[in-house]
Chain A
Amino acid sequence: MSIDATPENLAAERTSAPMLRVDGLKKSYPTPQGRIPVLRGVDFTLAAGASLALTGESGSGKSTLLHLVGALDDADSGDIVLDGVALTRLSENARAAIRRERISVVFQQFNLIPSLTVGENLSFQARLAGRYDPAWQEELTARLGLATLAARYPEELSGGQQQRVAIGRALAVRPRLLLADEPTGNLDEATGDAVMALALDLVAATGCAFLMATHSERLAARLQRRVRLESGLLAAQ
C-alpha cells in the first residue's frame, strides 16, 4: 500500500512530532566551473515506523540526500533533526555515535567488511553499538537465509547474498532509521524483489522508519509514501 506524499500529508506529519525532520536542506559540489547545486532546499518529515521512497533520475541528488540524512556528509545549510537531535549541528564524533546507534545504511555496493565472515559482518554494527542480541541475530540469520553461509567470506557470496548480509547487518542494531541507497541496483529483478520483500518484512518487525532511494518506480510503489527529487527540490507524487 502506498500513501502519496501530498502537501497535506507532509504537513500533517510535521504537526505530529515526526521522528525525522528535514528543513531547507541545501547542498552543492565544487567543480572547475563553480559550485553546482544538487539540493536546493529540501523539506520533509518521516514518522517512526513509516517508510518513504525517494525517486528521481540519475544525478538528481537522491544519494546526496540519503548521505546527509545518514550523517555521512555535511550540508551547506538547512536542518536535519532525528528524534529531536539536530544532526547538522553535531560534532564529527557525535555524528559517528548517531550512525552507530540510531541509523543504519544499506549501500548499493553492499560495503561489507571483506576480511570478516558473514556471521561476523552481521553482528558487527550491533556489537560496535553495544546492542548485540544473539536471539535477534539468530532470527535475522534464519529469515535472511544466511544460516549456512555464516562462515563464508563476502567474496564467496553472490550479489543477492551479499545484499542480504548488508540488510541483516543494518537491522541487527535495531536502528531508529534505516536508509537504503539503491539496495537492489546491483541485483537482477527477481533477486531484487525477493531481497526487497525480506527487507520490508524485517523493517516492519523492528518498527524502524525506512527511507529508500531508488530509480525504480516499481520498488518505490511498495513503500508507504514516495517523493520525487527534481532539480534539487522534492515534488510530491
Chain B
Amino acid sequence: MRETLWTLAALISHWRRRPGNLATLVLGLAIATALWSGVQALNAQARNSYDAAANAISGGGARTLVAARGGLFDQELFVRLRRAGVEVSPVLEGAIRIGEKNIRIIGVEPLSLPRRSPIADRRTRTDVIEDFFSGPGRGFAAPQTLRRLDLSEGAQPQTERGQLLPPLAALAEAPPGAIIVDIGVAQRLLDRPGKLSRLVILDEETFDEARLKPIAGDALRLVAPDDDSDLARLTDSFHLNLTAFGFLAFLVGLFIVHAAYGLAFEQRLPTLRTLRALGVGPPHLIAAMALEIGALTLIAGGAGVLGGHAIAQALLPDVAKSLESLYGAQISDRLALDARWWLSGLAMAGAGAALAAASGLTKALRLPALSFARPMAWRGAHHRYLGRQATLAALALVAAAGAYGFGQGLASGFAIIGLALLAAALILPVGLAGVLALGERFARRPLARWFFADGRQEISGLSLALMALLIALATNIGVGSMVEGFRQTFDRWLDARLVAEIYFEAATPADARDIEAWARTQPDIAAILPVWRAKTRIGGWPVDVVGMTPHETYTAHFPLIDAPTGVWTALHAQDAVLVSEQLARRLSLAIGETLDISTSGRDWSARIVGVFPDYGNPKGQLRIDHEKLKRYFDDASGVQYSLRVDPAATKRVIENIRQRFGGKIARIIDQAEVKTLSTDIFERTFAVTTALNTLTLIVSGVALFASLLTLSDMRRARIAPVWALGATRRKLAALEMARVMAFAAGAAAFAIPLGLFMTWCLVAIVNVAAFGWRLPFHMFPAQWLVVSCIALGAAFFAALIPVVRLARVSPTELLRVFSNER
C-alpha cells in the first residue's frame, strides 16, 4: 500500500507541473460524460413519462382490454362484462386543446378505479369519489401540467370548443400533460358519448379470458402489461437516434481523453522508468495508475453528469415539443432522475477513462525496469504505427461490409456508419503521412523538406485530435445533408399535400354536417372535401384510415411514390387502397397485393393500388375512398374537412365561418398556417440533432486545442535545433500554424466523401428502418465549403495560443532544450 501511495504521489505530481494538461483531461472526460448522460437523461425522462402515463390508472402490472383494431369501443361492452361478473374498470382517453396547448384527457370511473392506481393510492378512494361526484366534479392534473397551462388549483379552463372543465386539483401522480376526470366528463369533453378506450382488469387472479369471447366476441383484445405501448414502439426510433448521436458525441469526447492521457503517458514515461528502476513493481505501478484514473473518473465524471443534467434541461423543451408534435407524447418538463442515472453516468465516465487509458496501462504493465536509448526509433515505430492503422482500417471496412450484408435494420445501419467512421479515422493519419512524404520528396528548400519531415513526426501526436475532427466534420456533413435534403423534400411534399386553402375541424359530426351544408351554398367555396379518419390495426401496428373524395385536389397534386396509371379511378371505383410508404415498408406490401383490413363491421379486403409518402407520421396510413370509409367505419371521425376557395377570399371565408358557427368549429386554419406548423414541427424534430452535432464539433475543436497545447512543450525540442541553425522564431511559428491548417484541410477533404457516405447510410438505411421512409439523396457543395471553413477556423483558433507562445518563446527557453536534452 505504501509503495502504491508514494507511486501515486509521484504520478500526480506530474499534473501539478502541468495543470493545463490535467484540465484538458478532466474537460474531455467531463464533456464526453455530459453529452452521453444528457442524452440518456432525455431518454429516461421520456420513458418515465410514458410509464407514468401507462400506469397512472392501472398502477402497472395489469392487463388491459382494448379495441381489437384500435380506436374506441362501445361502453355497452363494459356494461355487459360487468353484468357477467368480469371485474374491469373503464377508461376513455383523448386529446383536447386548452388555449394553444394539447392536453390529454383521461376519463376514469371512480367506483371501479383499481386500488393499486397511484391516484387511488395517494388519496383515499372515498376522497376521489367525493371529489368526482360533488358539485361540478373534479379534474386532477400534475402540478407541472397546471404550470404549463398557467392555471392554479380550483381553476376551470375552457377547451378550444368552449366546453368547461371541472375545477382542477393538483395530483403529483397524474401523468404529465394529462387531466384525469370522471369518465362521463371525458365523454362530453371529447364528444365521444358512450365510447371507451380500454378496460383495466382489476383482479388478475379471478379474471378468466375464456369468459370474454361469448360476451365481447372479437371486439376486444388483451394487452399484456409488459407489451410496449404503441407510444413506446412509435418513439423507439426517435430515442435510438438520440442515443446514437449521444454515443457519437461521447466517443468524440473520449478522443480528447485518449489524446490527453496518451500524451501525459508519453511525458511521464521517463518518470515511469525511473520509478521502475527505483523498485516500483508492475502491480504497484498499475494500482497507482488505476487509482489515478478512479480519482479522475470521480472528479470529471461527477462534473460531466452535472453537465449532462444541464444539457438535458436545456434540450428538454425541444425534445418535449418534438415528441408531442410527432407522436402526441407528453413528457414532463422537469427533470426527475433517479440514482441509477447518476450512477450509470459515473460508470460510463469510468469505462471511458479506462478505455482511454487502457493502452497506457498495458504499456506500463510491460514497461521494462531498464530502457535503452533509442534515438532514431521513431521512424520504425512510425511505420509500424501506420501499418497497424491501415490494417485496423481495412478490418473495420470489412466489418462494415459484413454489417451491410447482414441486414439493413437500424442496428446494422448505425453499425455501418460507426465502422465507416472508424475506418476513415484510422486511415486518416496514413493518408496524411503519405501526402507529407510526397511533399518531402518534391520539396527543394531545406526548410520545406524539414516542414514535411517534421510534420510526419507530429502526426502520431495529433492523430487522435485529427480523427475526432474528421468524425465531427463528417457527421456534420452527413447529418447536415440528410436534414437539408429532408427539408427540401418535406417542403415540396407539403406543397403537394396542402393544396386546399382552408382546413377545419367541427366540434361534432352534427356540427360538421351543418357547416358542410352551408359551405355548399357559398360562391367563394369551390369545393368542400371531407377528410374523415378512422383507426385500425394492421400487422399489430396502429394505422389511420383517411377518406378521399374524387377531386382534382388529389388527382393533380397528391404525391405518390409508386402508382400505375388509373390509380384514382381504381381507388374510387374498386375495393382499393393507397398505403403510406412506412406501412408498405414495415409490412413489405406491394402494389397489386390484397390487404385484409379490420373495420367496424366485417373485415374488408382491398387491393393496394398505390404507395404515397407520408413524412413525419409515425403511424401507418391508408387512404381509401370517402364513401367506403363511411360504409366500413361507422366510427369514422366525421369532423375534419378541407376547403378549396379562391386564395384571395381565404381570410374572408375563415372569418365568415367563425362568425356563423362559433363553438361548432373546433379549429380552423389556413394553408399557410398549417405549413408553418408543419415546418415548425420539422425544425423542432431536428433541433436536438443539430444541437448535438454542433456540440460534437465544438468538442472536436477542444480536442485539437488540447492536443496542440499539450504538444507545444514537446514541439519546442523539435524546433529548437532548427532555430539554432538560423530560422527565426516567427517563421517557425508561421510554419507550425501552416502545418496545423494543412492537417485540418486534410481532415476536411477526408470528411466530405465520408460525410456523403454517411448521408447515404442515413437516407437509405437508417431512416428507412427507423421511420419507414426513404428520402432522395442530395448533395450540397456549399455546405462542404462551410464545413471546410469551420475546420480551418477551428484549427486556426486551436493553434493560435500554442503558436503565439512559440513565436514569443525566449531564446533562453529554447536553449534550455539543449541543456535538458536527455
Task: Tell me the A residues contacting B by CB distance below 8 Å.
Answer: 67, 70-73, 92-93, 95-101, 103, 105, 107, 109, 111-116, 120, 124-125, 127-130, 153, 155, 159
- Given known contacts A72-B370, A116-B13, A125 and B281 CB-to-CB distance under 8 angstroms: no
A134 CB to nearest B CB, Å: 16
Taking CB atoms, residues of chain B closer than 8 Å to A112 are 274
> Is the Cβ of B279 less than 8 Å from the Cβ of A72?
no
Taking CB atoms, residues of chain A closer than 8 Å to B283 are 93
B283 CB to nearest A CB, Å: 6
> Is the Cβ of B270 less than 8 Å from the Cβ of A114?
yes
Task: Tell me the B residues contacting A by CB distance below 8 Å.
Answer: 2-3, 6-7, 10, 13-14, 16-18, 268, 270-271, 273-284, 368-370, 816, 819-820, 822
B370 CB to nearest A CB, Å: 4
B148 CB to nearest A CB, Å: 55
Known: A92-B282, A96-B369, A109-B822. 12 other contacts (CB 8 A): A73-B370, A97-B281, A100-B280, A103-B279, A111-B273, A114-B17, A114-B270, A114-B271, A115-B18, A120-B13, A128-B278, A153-B17
**Closest residue of chain B to A109, judged by CB?**
B822
Question: In the docked arrangement, what's the CA distance between A120 and B12, Å?
Answer: 13
A167 CB to nearest B CB, Å: 14
Supply 20 A–B pairs (Cβ within 8 Å), ascending by A. A96-B279, A96-B280, A100-B279, A100-B280, A111-B270, A113-B13, A113-B274, A114-B270, A115-B16, A115-B17, A120-B13, A124-B10, A125-B279, A127-B2, A127-B6, A128-B3, A128-B6, A128-B278, A128-B279, A153-B17
> Is the Cβ of A111 less than 8 Å from the Cβ of B17?
no
B279 CB to nearest A CB, Å: 3
- Given known contacts A72-B370, A128-B3, A93 and B274 CB-to-CB distance under 8 angstroms: no
Question: In the docked arrangement, what's the CA distance between A67 and B274, Å?
Answer: 13
B265 CB to nearest A CB, Å: 14
> Is the Cβ of A129 less than 8 Å from the Cβ of B369?
no
- Given known contacts A112-B274, A114-B270, A128-B6, A97 and B16 CB-to-CB distance under 8 angstroms: no
Taking CB atoms, residues of chain A closer than 8 Å to B819 are 159
B324 CB to nearest A CB, Å: 55
Question: In the docked arrangement, what's the CA distance between A218 and B281, Å?
Answer: 37
Taking CB atoms, residues of chain B closer than 8 Å to A95 are 369
Taking CB atoms, residues of chain A closer than 8 Å to B274 are 111-113
Question: In the docked arrangement, what's the CA distance between A43 and B83, Å?
Answer: 106
> Is the Cβ of B281 less than 8 Å from the Cβ of A129?
no
B402 CB to nearest A CB, Å: 39
> Is the Cβ of B282 less than 8 Å from the Cβ of A128?
no
Question: In the docked arrangement, what's the CA distance between A109 and B281, Å?
Answer: 22
The one of B6, B277, B280, B284 that contacts A111, using a Cβ cutoff of 8 Å? B277
> Is the Cβ of A155 less than 8 Å from the Cβ of B3?
no
Question: In the docked arrangement, what's the CA distance between A130 and B5, Å?
Answer: 12
**Closest residue of chain A to B11, judged by CB?**
A115
> Is the Cβ of B13 less than 8 Å from the Cβ of A155?
no
B7, B18, B369: which has the most chain A beta carbons within 10 Å? B369
A127 CB to nearest B CB, Å: 5
Taking CB atoms, residues of chain B closer than 8 Å to A96 are 276, 279-282, 284, 369
**Closest residue of chain A to B276, judged by CB?**
A96
Taking CB atoms, residues of chain A closer than 8 Å to B275 are 113
B274, B275, B281, B822: which has the most chain A beta carbons within 10 Å? B274
- The 6 tightest CB contacts between A and B, nearest first, are A100-B279, A96-B281, A99-B279, A115-B13, A72-B370, A93-B281
Question: In the docked arrangement, what's the CA distance between A97 and B281, Å?
Answer: 7
Taking CB atoms, residues of chain B closer than 8 Å to A103 are 279
> Is the Cβ of A67 less than 8 Å from the Cβ of B278?
no
> Is the Cβ of B278 less than 8 Å from the Cβ of A100?
yes
B13, B18, B270, B816: which has the most chain A beta carbons within 10 Å? B13
- Given known contacts A72-B277, A111-B277, A155 and B7 CB-to-CB distance under 8 angstroms: no
> Is the Cβ of A73 less than 8 Å from the Cβ of B271?
no
Taking CB atoms, residues of chain B closer than 8 Å to A92 are 281-282
> Is the Cβ of B820 less than 8 Å from the Cβ of A155?
yes
Taking CB atoms, residues of chain B closer than 8 Å to A72 are 277, 369-370
**Closest residue of chain B to A100, judged by CB?**
B279
Question: In the docked arrangement, what's the CA distance between A57 and B820, Å?
Answer: 26
Taking CB atoms, residues of chain B closer than 8 Å to A109 are 822
Taking CB atoms, residues of chain A closer than 8 Å to B2 are 127-128, 130
Taking CB atoms, residues of chain A closer than 8 Å to B282 are 92-93, 96
Question: In the docked arrangement, what's the CA distance between A101 and B281, Å?
Answer: 12
**Closest residue of chain B to A72, judged by CB?**
B370
> Is the Cβ of A100 less than 8 Å from the Cβ of B13?
no
A108 CB to nearest B CB, Å: 10
Taking CB atoms, residues of chain B closer than 8 Å to A129 are 279
> Is the Cβ of B279 less than 8 Å from the Cβ of A98?
yes
> Is the Cβ of B279 less than 8 Å from the Cβ of A97?
yes
A142 CB to nearest B CB, Å: 23
The one of B7, B14, B278, B280 that contacts A115, using a Cβ cutoff of 8 Å? B14
> Is the Cβ of A125 less than 8 Å from the Cβ of B370?
no
A72, A103, A112: which has the most chain B beta carbons within 10 Å? A72
Question: In the docked arrangement, what's the CA distance between A127 and B2, Å?
Answer: 8
Question: In the docked arrangement, what's the CA distance between A163 and B281, Å?
Answer: 25
Question: In the docked arrangement, what's the CA distance between A129 and B18, Å?
Answer: 27
Taking CB atoms, residues of chain A closer than 8 Å to B7 are 128
